[in-house]
Each structure stands twice: as C-alpha cells, then as structure tokens.
Amino acid sequence: MKELIIRCFCDIPEHQAILSYYPEHFARWGKDMCLQVHLCPGSFWRRVVAGIRHILGKRSVYGDFDEIELDVDEVERVIKFMEEFLKEKDND
Ligand SMILES: [Zn+2]
C-alpha cells in the first residue's frame, strides 16, 4: 500500500486527509485511489447536539462536508504522489 497524509494549512491534527492506493491490487481489484477525510469529533456536548440533529433528520442545505486547506508544499507533495500513482498504473 502507498499512502500520503495531507495536512491542513492550519496545523490542527484532526484536519487531514489520506490518499492511498494498492499497486499490488491493480490487476485484481482495479486501478483506483482512495481519499479518506478525517472529521474532527469535537467535544462531548457538540457530539450530543450533532447526534440529536442527526436523529431529527436535520441536514445542512449544503450537505455534509469538511475541508482542508493546502499550502504550496502540500500541493507539490500531492502532485508527486498522483504522478507516482499514474506511473504504477502504467507499469501494471
Ligand atoms: Zn484546518
């Protein structure tokens, strides 16, 4: 497995995403890449309020999402990782 942890510009540890792929699985499972976004759970009471809102079916009109901000160095790391993925894909 190959993975890249992408950290948010704000340096809060919970603000990160992980890009990963499995070159050894390309032939059997397909050539794809996974993007996991880790969401900050927040305090106990914030989770209770979020749980109640969820039970009541409340949703943001914009849908559920979070974001991380990338500085130039992080963007360069992502591009390099993506290029490695494309090379691995062509080698298979
Ligand atoms: Zn952040």
Domain hosting 15: range is: 2-91
Distance 22 CA to ligand 1 centre (A): 27
Residue pair 2/32 in contact by the 8 Å Cβ criterion: no
Task: Please tell me the distance between residue 25's alpha carbon and the centre of ligand 1 in angstroms.
Answer: 32
With a threshold of 0.75, does the pTM exceed it? no
Total domains in the chain come to: 1
- Determine the distance separating the centroid of ligand 1 and the alpha carbon of 26, expressed in angstroms: 32
Cα distance between residue 59 and residue 53, in whole Å: 8
The predicted model gives 41-59 an average pLDDT of: 85
Q: In this structure, are strands 2-7 and 16-21 parallel, antiparallel, or unpaired?
A: antiparallel
25 neighbors 92 (Cβ within 8 angstroms): no
pLDDT at 41 over 70: no
| Residues making up the chain, counted from first to last | 92
Bridge-based pairing state of the strands 2-7 and 34-38: unpaired
At 11, the pLDDT band (50, 70, 90 cuts) reads confident
